[in-house]
Structure 1
Amino acid sequence: MKHPPDSFVSSPSLVCKLKKSLYRKTINSIVIVAVYVDDILVTVGNNLDEITSLKTYLDSIFKIKDMGFLHYFLGLEFDKTNDGMVIHQHKFIMELLEMYSMNNSKPVSMPLPTKITLLPTMSNPLSDPTLYRQLIGKLNFLLHNAIFHLSQFNQSPCQAHYDAALHVLQYFQGTTTKDWTTCPITRRSVSGFFILFGDNPISWKSKKQTTISLSSAKAKYRSISRVCTELAWLSQLLIELEVPNVTPIPLNKEPCFP
């Protein structure tokens, strides 16, 4: 970050190295600002004065457009309820179905058929590969594992790959996991996890493992290692945010506790 005003700096090109990525403004208030390119989301407890003060400051430096209370952000819809907030992507899905003329298609029960095997060269290459890449990029906001599989063919997609991508789109019309040597090209397994905080999903990933697992047990251990790494990072983040972590009550084996 830039040096504070009136501070001594040996060179104007030097910047400060932050010890934290999150700082509290006051003792009893915390302001969280989520930034994605030029879209900004601000939240701060029930103190609206803090948000107003921040927006005024930002507007004095950058010309910003205040969109009001949170309803739609980066393809996500936010509906406020009596006991919290519901996040969904209904609007994004309907626009995507209409864009590809799939809004009247027959629904399917799974994103990809269980017996499907996609290879780099399967049928006639698409005359316009950007059509496939555009669809994969949009679907990536909705369903990660299937898109991870399909995105391997972005370089030279064939008609069979595009048909599989449209099948994923039909799925929208109507947990930690692993597989073993599913990829027919590299024979590597895929690790996936889905982490909830309360009833809310906060982290998920589906990624091909870096090495070949010689058994399903080894694939499971590698999946466990990956999700534990993510959990360790989330644990430190919650500590920094001062979110209480209530540990389970330990069982006592003393005779006085039968």
Structure 2
Amino acid sequence: MALDKKHALLAAVDRSNAGGRSDRPPYAGVDAAHHPTGVYRWPGDLELDHSVDACRGNLAASKETGASGCRRILEELIALTCPARAEELSMQMVKRFGSLGEALAAQPLDRLAVMGASSHIERSFVCLQMAIDHILRGRIADKCVLSNEEAVIEYLRATMAFAPVEQMRVLFLNAANHLLVDEVMASGTVSSVHIYPREVLKRCLDVGATAILLVHNHPSGRPAPSKADKTMTTQIAEAARWFGIAVHDHLIVAREGWVSFRRAGYL
């Protein structure tokens, strides 16, 4: 499928992802001047060429939000390979996962349990997630990460904000703050994740990184840092200083927004 501004499978992702979020600003707690725009702000910024029956309507122009918006987009996606069951399965997906974002971030086996082991439908979900990741990651490749905050936040929210468990991700940067390696270094539970400073620093030395950007998600939907988050960040930053490695920031991404430790004064 060619990329174009005609279809809505990727449009309205932010509008529909958060279930009953309605018109609430997507980056709660962050100054309005820093709100990123794009696929994770308002609809119409990233869409796919429309090849499904025209009678389904243009979701990019739709004003539906919350669960109904998620259901319509899921129905479009499922209809690509299983039109006969698209409406039924889209309703089951929203009932099981709650939103489009959580459905995309779910484990394949969990999705298959809803869809009845239909590998064709699952392939559509995998391809859509890969397309989103590829497009958004391309916006930060070979560029200074620190000067492309909007693109970085969009990429991180797309890959982590709706994950069912906490993940600790590290962006390893060179002297020009270009991305060397993007790696999920630890996965935890629905409410916690931990990584040892020595593991991060060893990986820095392996890839030749001179700076890092720490990132983790909060499946609860709220990006407010915990005491454990602050302690872990301080430990990594202090250990990194001995090796001349800069910890530029620690970002928490979630359905309801994101938080920068640097801006909040925690780092």
Fold agreement, TM-score > 0.5: no
Structure showing the higher helix proportion among its residues: 2
TM-score, scaled relative to structure 1: 0.24
Higher radius of gyration, 1 or 2: 1
With normalisation by structure 2, the TM-score equals 0.23
